[in-house]
Amino acid sequence: MTERRPIIAGNWKMHKDHLEAIQLVQRLAYHLDESDYEGQDIVVAPPFVALRSIQTLIDSDRLPLALGAQNCHWEAEGAFTGEVSAAMLARLDVAYVICGHSERRALFGETDEIVNRKVKAVQKQHLRPIVCVGETLEERQAGRAEEVVVGQLRGSLAGVKVVDPEELVLAYEPVWAIGTGETATKEDAQELCAAIRAELAELYDDATAEAVRIQYGGSVKPGNIRELMGEPDIDGALVGGASLNSDDFALIVGWRR
């Protein structure tokens, strides 16, 4: 069986200006143990305006943190007022770009087709997409969770090539668990992550499916990270609220201690 490298990412959403962002990363670095970085990817995804400051901080303090962005446009440049391209993010040493977060899907009308274009744009710049999929509460209650998630996965990855499976990250994020304090049970999270892996085997092949990392996201906290990470198909976490607190995020990142 492939050993998948854990990946914990903090999605700060529209929180922290660039000065607060610097403070948060400094505090986080202070709380992290050297062993937390070993064999694991740790990503921070601040708002666009803080990317440059955090890039500089990571560089100057030689922090083994990866920089993430929360979104991008699919074109490299052009008349798209207010947008930021994957090409621009690449120039800032961004390594990961969150694509198709449920807030973007629900509040900004992002369809699977749009997410798909973004994933391709991210790959074109040799960045790593974190592709988010997840069902709403109504869809879960109607027994359609797997069908919805698999459908989003197919749409978001249509025509997407996977040369190095480490370069593609999936995030299973049930919409009803995001920012609600309600976490999926480890069994439910595992079931859907396993369904995602099975679909990856259909879309690509067994070896690719075995190697792609799948995160769980939805009210991940210091108190539940360890049991989630104990599940065979959960390789990491995409953390919203708890990533804004350096103590909490450090405890989550330090789940192996």
User: Could you give the residue numbers annotated as active site?
Assistant: 101, 173
For residues 210 and 219, the answer to whether their CB atoms sit within 8 Å is no
- How many CB atoms neighbour CB 46 within 10 A? 28
- Give the residue with the Cβ less far from ligand PEP, 157 or 225: 225
225 Cβ contact list (under 8 Å, min separation 6): 237, 251, 252, 255
According to the binding rule CB under 6 A, does residue 236 interact with ligand PEP? Answer: no
121: amino acid identity, one letter: A
For residues 221 and 252, the answer to whether their CB atoms sit within 8 Å is yes
User: What does the per-residue mask of binding to ligand PEP show for 125-164, with x meaning CB under 6 A?
Assistant: ----------------------------------------
Q: Which of 7, 8, 11, 73 binds ligand PEP (CB under 6 A)?
A: 11
- Give the residue with the Cβ less far from ligand PEP, 121 or 220: 220
Pick from 211, 191, 192: nearest CA to 201: 211
- Give the residue with the Cβ less far from ligand PEP, 177 or 211: 177
- Give the residue with the Cβ less far from ligand PEP, 45 or 51: 45
Pick from 45, 97, 107: nearest CA to 73: 97
User: What does the per-residue mask of binding to ligand PEP show for 213-232, with x meaning CB under 6 A?
Assistant: ----xxxx------------
- The number of helices, as runs of H, and strands, as runs of E, in the chain is 12, 8
Size of the site for ligand PEP (CB under 6 A): 13
Give contact residues for ligand PEP (rule: CB under 6 A): 11, 173, 178-179, 217-220, 238-242
